[in-house]
Structure 1
């Protein structure tokens, strides 16, 4: 096939050519924007699910909705590295300054409400150490608030001072956090607290998030009332939607799949959007015919795509694990899906579940596994068990 017309977009967070099977999430996001414009309360979603299900793509799509409505928005990403976590407030401040520039640039003149909002925003950014970024407007940061150094108090003052300007223009303030489970505790606690205050006071402030299956538990651990968030579990596509995700982009380029080829690719992808894009990309690249992808093409593509996934997705995660953690993961890989901790204890020759606690907790902190329920463990990456079974014993 001609690579100039390859419609697939393999890569983390890249929007696929056909965003199928997510209509309900997109509609719910637009409802938040529309209700905010009408001055009514709304609750933004917090997406959670396995890696590769398209949570980041959904978060970006909802961010685009808010941007189109003229909202003040900022995107940040949680990081596991301690050095990166210390810079979260700076990244938040820099993003807010950039957003304020866009917002102010759309206005012919600044009202008193917007001036006060921008003063506090500027003060917040200076206090956060966001050096090298300025609003470049006739705004005096010394007159603003949000500069105490206390993340919770500063963020609350910032949102409080921005609200009148938002209401004046019928817009909202959205903070979009990817990998929210890895956000540093101080910033996460502050965002949850401010969202709680916003709900109580009908402030047009919305915290959106996306992360691993442990997100609801993580947020509740930081703040008990985080259970009031609108958590949305994102899973694999249905068979019908997965078929459309493969076939529709190709059809747009005049290429069709033989039924057997499409069935096989849907099967091995498991309906996970990330895998659909990788397998579809390889099927396009390796197809021998000018306008048809047949079963032989699909089988060759599966072998090549598996090698690509091994190198780009699984290998780095496997190498992050210690020898003891790899041993536990190998034991988990013997199961199809979830593993019973009691079975793992027996399988590894241990005496009691607590013998696995340190290793288990280390893997959870690294985002490699999670506990879907009491006494259970599961990989956060689909098909990780298959990859591990392909690895030789060291």
Structure 2
């Protein structure tokens, strides 16, 4: 069917109408944000593995805060920012841009003064014209500046989401700035009505803590887990239905199995199945074709290139088919897999284990003798995807 009509959004935060589950997490973050409207600075960190839906959760909470909590919201993607000044530029530029459609835009524009300039080739948009001295001043006076901005909105508070912090987490300057700014805002008078949610991998939080140990006790932590099977079923059913499509229970279960609880996979699988379908009845052929098609897309988008290239080697094909014959696994014992292999395959299997460990796609499982585990669910699910693709191609030939 027409890809342009697909209700799935690979690579983008899920639209509010297709968001499912996470009830406990939503309520906790919403209550944190609401607490900030009473003058209590709140700082949270949403952690979880890649593809778990961290950005979508933050976006959903923001939508609820704006709709029900009388708060202003701003979602800043910090990808590409490498230092404190670039961070300031992205934060204040996004505050300006997200105010454009708001009734308080004129007052927000007053806050930025003559630093606003109009740009654009295909339609006019705005951005801030900030020099290095401006960025330095904003970093030093972030507390008073953000307080003044909140006043201009006329809202009860501001939910500021700082997403994609990869390039900044290794900066000692940024880590110390976060800690000193939090300290300053915590004792400021008048009290600031601000909730900050930082979104990232647990490794990024640890990187910040290595530079500033006190941050370990500053963040209110929320660790996201994978979807349950029921939540995954709800997502597919709800998302297909939003476009008037239907899927049988049996075919739905195939998608649920290969999703493995990861929203990023759900959007890729759903989108591929949609494109393979000939009608609004998502049948078995569409699902199988979608899984095969999504294998290539997911591998190229999400896997380390060396891992992606390695597992596509001809010599590993029979190994993967037997290793993943029962679907995705989080860990396995070498001896259990080896029982089903030929002598030649066992030699190849040992080479496979050694290479995957070297590339970081496998680690030894300390709880199982001769055991291995996938440090990232993405690898386990992709290996399963690829073995399914191999089986499908062999069957068709």
TM-score interval w.r.t. the shorter chain? 0.5 to 0.7
1:216-227 equivalent positions in 2, closer than 5 A = 216-226=205-215, 227=217
Say if 2:294 is the partner of 1:297.
no
Q: Where does structure 2 lack aligned partners over 5 or more consecutive residues?
A: 118-125, 311-319, 334-349, 367-372, 388-397
CA positional deviation for 1:263? 1.1
Q: 1:386 aligns with which of 383, 391, 396?
A: 383
The CA distance in 2 between the partners of 1:122 and 1:280, in whole Å, is: 46
1:287 corresponds to: 277
How many pairs were matched up?
336
Say if 2:179 is the partner of 1:180.
no
Alignment deviations for residues 137-177 of structure 1 (CA, whole Å, 9 cap, x no partner): xxxxxxxxx959377533244346557x37x9452233321
The CA distance in 1 between the partners of 2:147 and 2:363, in whole Å, is: 37
Q: Where does structure 1 lack aligned partners over 5 or more consecutive residues?
A: 136-145, 324-332, 350-355
The CA distance in 1 between the partners of 2:263 and 2:101, in whole Å, is: 32
Q: Cα–Cα, structure 1 residues 153 and 134, in superposed 2: closer, same or farther, change >3 Å?
A: closer
Q: Cα–Cα, structure 1 residues 148 and 275, in superposed 2: closer, same or farther, change >3 Å?
A: closer
Find the residue that maps to 2:15 and give its secondary structure. coil
The CA distance in 1 between the partners of 2:254 and 2:156, in whole Å, is: 47
Q: Cα–Cα, structure 1 residues 225 and 369, in superposed 2: closer, same or farther, change >3 Å?
A: farther
TM-score scaled by length of structure 1? 0.66
CA positional deviation for 1:244? 0.9
Q: Cα–Cα, structure 1 residues 270 and 148, in superposed 2: closer, same or farther, change >3 Å?
A: closer
Alignment deviations for residues 294-325 of structure 1 (CA, whole Å, 9 cap, x no partner): 334322221111122123333xx3259999xx
Q: Is the 2:374–2:380 Cα contact (8 Å) retained in structure 1?
A: no
1:210 corresponds to: 199
Alignment deviations for residues 304-363 of structure 1 (CA, whole Å, 9 cap, x no partner): 11122123333xx3259999xxxxxxxxx99954799xxx9xx759xxxxxx9xx89xx7
TM-score scaled by length of structure 2? 0.65
Q: Is the 1:214–1:370 Cα contact (8 Å) retained in structure 2?
A: no
1:25-64 equivalent positions in 2, closer than 5 A = 25-37=25-37, 39-41=38-40, 43-64=42-63
Q: Is the 2:46–2:222 Cα contact (8 Å) retained in structure 1?
A: yes
CA positional deviation for 1:58? 1.6
